[in-house]
Every structure is written in structure tokens, then in C-alpha cells.
Amino acid sequence: MTLADGLALALWVVVAVLITYTIRHYVFTLNRVFGRFRQPYVDIGIADWPTVAVFVPAHNEEKVIGGMLEALLAADYPAERFHIVPIDDRSTDGTGGIVERYAREHPGRVRPYVRTEGKPGKAAALRDATSRSEAEIFLVFDADYLPGPNLLRQLVAPFFDPEVGAVMGRVIPHNLNRSLLTRLLDLERAGGYQVDQQARMNLRLIPQYGGTVGGVRRSALLDVGDWDEDSLTEDTDMTFRMVLRGWEVVYQNRSECYEEVPENWPTRIRQIQRWARGHNQCLRRYAWTLLKSPRHLRFAQVIDGLLLLGVFAVAPVLLVGWALATALYFMGYPIEQGLLILFAVASYSTLGNFAAFFEVGTAARLDGSRNRIRLLPFLSFGFLVNLLAVSRATLSRRSWRAPGAHGPDWQKTERYRGGNGENGR
């Protein structure tokens, strides 16, 4: 075998990986459009609702925490069955003052938890705060999210099924008219939730629990060993620990919560790089366990889990594909054999991977979006930025080494709403 043959073989492996993800896009999209829907207990009204503690981890969130608490206080859930726990983790801005004010105005309903020591970071904050709560269900929201009044009931409802360990709602950007980037992120989110997550739910695969709009059952949390303080993305980590221990993770497409997406590219890059590092940490931790296929998992779940874990590792694989194609081109790889493989990488497998556009276009259409779908070609630019940012994060040492004794620090996305604690008024 010549060097060129070896490179060509490696390129075919890259193309095979990309085709696998393409098939996944098609299967998910066609299932979302034509498959049977699963949305357990979503419309339940009268019930013996469990006790709920709503945790809002916050580190310097004065711009948004007020709005979040206002939205939660307006929630349609039996008042005597739920309380809110804003977790103020070493904030140096006005977050503490705002939270204290709400606690005074709503005694018993807003019960702040102030952290001044211990490991920093969201997972560590949640571990400390949830260990002090006796509620049956823990809901977790990011401080910049805006839950609608029915959201709490919708998120809690699936827990009537005793096999359910975690529930995830849908995230929708509310600042989408700020820039081209926010509109592109709205399209991406639509594809990810409306199609990907719901199809996983329909197919009984592995919907991902997201720590921004979701909840966990207290007994399940204790069963899997609590939040991992060293996890960079505690939600993905929790998803796989739940699934591996036999708990079901549920996605509720109708449980909408509204978020601020990054309005500028540097913020977006930092966000996606953080996700990539956390996801890769989970890949390192759980891929082998999944491969060993615990008996309670179906083969399809194992495959879906592996593809989900590897989703951020695909970016550098694609870059390698480009490099291999370029090398083969300059080496004069025989055109009869080379043309197909080169074109496969140069068009189909890169920006031209139509399956991703199909998924996003379908999601936006099902959402009732009309003119926004016309931005579809611009997603190519977003993909290019994602590709390079994720590759850089994936190839960095932080993606693969264990966090030090200090643990992961707070990783926050820039907020844009007006501050001074009046944002909820």
C-alpha cells in the first residue's frame, strides 16, 4: 500500500463517520415529521403534585436574576408545594442584594442559599444546595431564562412515571431579532430541540437532560451519586449517569422556556467551546461503559449515546478530512479514483451536508417560522465558525485532562438585559 492509498483509506473512514451522522440527521428529521409522538403526562391538570424546589444557580447575575424570580413567582403550581432557591455563589455584583430583597418580600417561597466557600462552579453549587433540600423534585434553571407560567407543571408531570429520573424542556431564544447571529442560533436551537430531542424521545433513545430548563428526581439524583463537582457540563454528565443506572430521561417539547442567546461571535465561540470541552469530558468518561452495553440498554440507545457523546469530536475529524483531501489532491491521486473521494469531502461532507439544512429547515417550518427559514444558507457561516471553534476546544488539553483540585470555575455567557435588579419589574 502506497502513502496515497493509506491517506485515501483514512479519508474514506472520515467520510464514513460523516455519512453516519448524516443518516442520523435524516432518521431524526423523518421521525419528527412522521413518527408517533411521545409526550407523557404533559396535559395532566388535577393531581397530587409532588413537592418541588426550583434552583437558580447564579454568579454575578444582577442583570437577569430579578426577571427570573418574577417569572418563577408567577408560576402556576400549588404555592404550598414549591419554593425557589436562588443559589448566590460568591457574586461580587448586586445579585445578593436582589435575591435578599425577594426573600424578604416572599418569605418561605424564596429561600436563598449563599455560598462563600467550597469549589466554584454550577455543579458544585447545585450539589451543596440540593443536599439541603427535602423536596421530591428538583428543577434547575439558568438565571437568564424566562419560564412561562405553565412550565413548572409541564416539567414536573413526567415524574408521575416512577421510572423517569430527569426531564428536559425546550429552550427558545427571545432575543432573536438582535443580529444575524441570534437568528442563526434560533434556527440551530429549533433543529436541536424540535427535531433532534423530540425524535430521540419518540424513538426511546437518549434525550439529553439540559441543566438550563429541566429537573431531576431527588431519589434518582442520590442513586447516581449526586452532581459531579468536576464536571464541565453537569447536564450531559447527569444524562449519561442516569441512563447508565437505568433511569429514563424525558424531553418535553411543549415545555418552553426563553433564553438569551449570544449576540456577538466571541461570546458564541466561548459558549460552544465550553460545551465542547464538557461534552468531550463525558465522551472520555462514558463511551467505554456504553460500548460495554449495559443489559438494560437497547442497541439503538447505545449507538445513539455514542453518537451523542461524539458529536463535538466530529469537528476535528472533518478538519482532518479536509487536510487529507488536500494532500491527496496535490499528490496527484488518480483522478478516476480520486475525484469521487475528493468531491465527497469538498462538497457533500462539509458545508454541503444537506441533511443538516433539512433538519433545521424542517424544524423551523414545524415551528411556524416562515421568513426566518430563508436564512438557511447563512447557516453555512455559522457552521464554519462552529467547526473551527469546536475543533480548537476539542484539541485543547482542557478537553481531555481531569480538572484539578480547584474544579471547574464558573463558565458564564454574557448577559444583555438591563440590570440593577429591576429587570423583572
Partner 1 sequence: MVQLEWTGRRAIRAVFLSLLGFLTVVSGLPVLGRTWGRLETWVLGQSGVSVGIDWHSIGIGSVLQIRVPYPLLEGPWPSTSHWLIVGGGTAALLLASFLLPMRFLPARYFLRFVAAVQSVALVYFAFATPPFPYPLPGYIGGLMTVGMAILALVPIALGFGFYIFDHSLPRQILLTVMIVGHLAILLPLQGLVHAILINRFSLLVQPTLFFVFGVLVEVLVFVGFYGWAMSWGGSEIPQDVGTGARL
Please report how close the Cβ of residue 292 comes to partner 1 at its closest, in angstroms.
Answer: 35
Cα separations (Å) of 14 from 9, 277, 280, 318, 349? 9, 21, 19, 7, 9
Site for partner 1 in 384-423 (CB under 8 A): 384-385, 388
Number of H helices, E strands in the chain: 15, 8
Q: Considering only residues 134, 177, 330, 405, which one is a binding residue for partner 1 as defined by CB under 8 A?
A: 330
**Piece in contact with partner 1 (CB under 8 A), picked from 99-107, 274-282, 370-378, 409-417:** 370-378
In the complex, what is the shortest distance from the CB of residue 3 to partner 1, in angstroms, rounded to a whole number?
15
Sign for the pseudo-dihedral over CA of 373, 386, 19, 11: positive
Comparison of 244 and 346: residue with beta carbon closer to partner 1: 346
Which is nearer to partner 1, 62 or 196 (by Cβ)? 196
Beta carbon of residue 342, minimum distance to partner 1 (angstroms, whole number): 8
Interface pick for partner 1 out of 20, 23, 204, 343 (rule CB under 8 A) = 343
Furthest-apart CA atoms within the chain: distance in Å:
76
Shortest distance in whole angstroms from residue 304 CB to partner 1: 20
Q: Which stretch binds partner 1 (CB under 8 A): 120-128, 130-138, 258-266, 407-415?
A: 258-266
Binding mask 132-151 for partner 1 (x = CB under 8 A): ----------------x---
Say how far apart CA 237 and CA 231 lie, in whole Å: 7
* Nearer residue to partner 1 within complex by CB, 254 or 296: 254
Total binding residues for partner 1 by CB under 8 A?
Answer: 62
DSSP structure string for 260-284:
PPPSSHHHHHHHHHHHHHHHHHHHH
179 binds partner 1 per the rule CB under 8 A: yes
Residue 279 binding partner 1, by CB under 8 A: no
Contact status, residue 169 vs residue 255, Cβ threshold 8 Å: yes
Determine the interface stretch with partner 1 among 30-38, 285-293, 393-401, 402-410 (rule: CB under 8 A): 30-38
Report the C-alpha gap between 350 and 46 in whole angstroms: 50
How far apart are the C-alpha atoms of 164 and 371, rounded to whole Å? 38
- How far is the C-alpha of 394 from the C-alpha of 310, rounded, in Å? 11
Confirm or reject binding of residue 19 to partner 1 (CB under 8 A).
no
Query: Toward partner 1, which CB reaches closer, 40 or 246?
Result: 40
Nearer to partner 1, 184 or 242 (CB): 184
CA–CA separation, 231 and 277 (whole Å): 10
Question: x/- string (CB under 8 A) for partner 1, residues 31-70?
Answer: -xxxx-x-x-------------------------------
| Cα 20 from chain centre | 21
Decide: is 374 part of the binding site for partner 1 (CB under 8 A).
yes
213-217 sheet: strands from edge to edge: 113-115, 82-89, 52-58, 137-141, 213-217, 164-173, 248-259, 146-147
- Considering only 100-108, 156-164, 337-345, 401-409, which stretch makes contact with partner 1 by CB under 8 A? 337-345
Contact flag: residue 74 with partner 1 (CB under 8 A)? no
> Which of 6, 352 has the CB closer to partner 1?
352
3-class SS of residue 67: helix
Helix/strand/coil for 205: coil
Does residue 266 interact with partner 1 by CB under 8 A? yes
Which residues pair with residue 110 across a beta bridge?
84
How many angstroms separate the CA atoms of 96 and 91, rounded?
7
Sign of CA dihedral 86, 128, 162, 142: positive
d(C-alpha 242, C-alpha 220), whole Å? 7
Binding site for partner 1 (CB under 8 A): 26, 30, 32-35, 37, 39, 148, 170, 172, 179, 190, 194, 253-254, 256, 264-266, 269, 325-326, 329-330, 332-333, 335, 339, 342-343, 346-348, 350-352, 354, 357-358, 361-362, 364-377, 380-382, 384-385, 388
